[in-house]
């Protein structure tokens, strides 16, 4: 049994390495195929290789993110190459947001009801935003401006009227954090607003 078959866990596994020339660039992609199934879609991988060109994602990663129904729709011609390119682009943006990085087109300052000051592609106040996924998963959120520690749910006051500590372990002075100091913090989550 080869190392590929061992890693795949199947004696019927095979890999094909394909290379094609597109706009004077050679692209190589690997096709995994189980000889007992009809899951091999080399044309889809070639289309995804075009869709992923210039992006920080491989065609195989993009294919794995597609639902079986999406692949079937692509085979029927219901999903275009432009749609797959937009899908690959959105996967890269989602990965950047998951890592706490601001996508390049998020250039405007906005305010989310749940996340506080955020970067978006438009300005204004929103009831929810793409960064809410990071907040729910306890991942960092890049901020367009500095924030007050005292306005954050992670600020734990001590017996001093203005001092406290960060429950998320953000760097602080020996005495702690002053509640009205402004600082840049990717772990800031605003205190819930009380209804008037």
Domains in the chain: how many in total? Answer: 3
Are 110 and 129 in the same domain? Answer: yes
CA distance 81 to 52: 11
Q: Give the model confidence (pLDDT) of 146-176 as tens digits.
A: 888 888 888 888 888 888 888 888 888 887 8
CA dihedral of residues 160, 161, 167, 169 (deg, nearest 10): -70
Are 10 and 92 in the same domain? Answer: yes
**pLDDT at site 82:** 93
Are 94 and 114 in the same domain? Answer: no
Residue numbers of the domain that contains 90: 3-98
Are 79 and 115 in the same domain? Answer: no
Looking at the chain, the number of H-run helices and the number of E-run strands are 6, 10
DSSP bridge partners of 124: 110
CATH code assigned at 188: 2.20.70
DSSP bridge partners of 182: 148
Q: Is 27 exposed, middle or buried (0-12, 13-18, 19+ CB in 10 A)?
A: middle
pTM of the model: 0.58
Are 74 and 13 in the same domain? Answer: yes
Q: Specify whether the backbone of 63 is left (phi greater than 0), alpha (psi in -120 to 50) or beta.
A: alpha
Q: Give the model confidence (pLDDT) of 37-76 as tens digits.
A: 334 567 899 999 999 999 999 999 999 999 999 999 999 9
């Amino acid at each position: 049994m080869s190392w590929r078959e061992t890693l795949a866990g199947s004696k019927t596994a095979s890999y094909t390495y394909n290379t094609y020339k597109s706009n004077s660039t050679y692209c190589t992609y690997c096709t995994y195929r189980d000889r007992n199934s009809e899951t091999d879609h080399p044309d889809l991988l070639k289309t995804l290789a075009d869709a992923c060109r210039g992006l920080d994602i491989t065609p195989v990663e993009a294919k794995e993110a597609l639902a079986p129904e999406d692949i079937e729709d692509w085979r029927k011609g219901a999903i275009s190459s432009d749609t797959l390119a937009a899908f690959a682009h959105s996967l890269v943006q989602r990965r950047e947001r998951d890592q706490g990085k601001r996508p390049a087109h998020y250039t405007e300052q906005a305010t989310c009801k749940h996340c506080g000051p955020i970067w978006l592609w438009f300005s204004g106040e929103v009831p929810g935003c793409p960064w809410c996924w990071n907040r729910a998963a306890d991942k960092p959120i890049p901020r367009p401006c500095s924030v007050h520690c005292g306005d954050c749910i992670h600020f734990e006051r001590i017996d001093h009227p203005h001092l406290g500590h960060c429950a998320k372990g953000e760097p602080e002075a020996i005495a702690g954090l002053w509640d009205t100091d402004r600082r840049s913090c990717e772990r800031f989550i605003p205190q819930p607003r009380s209804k008037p």
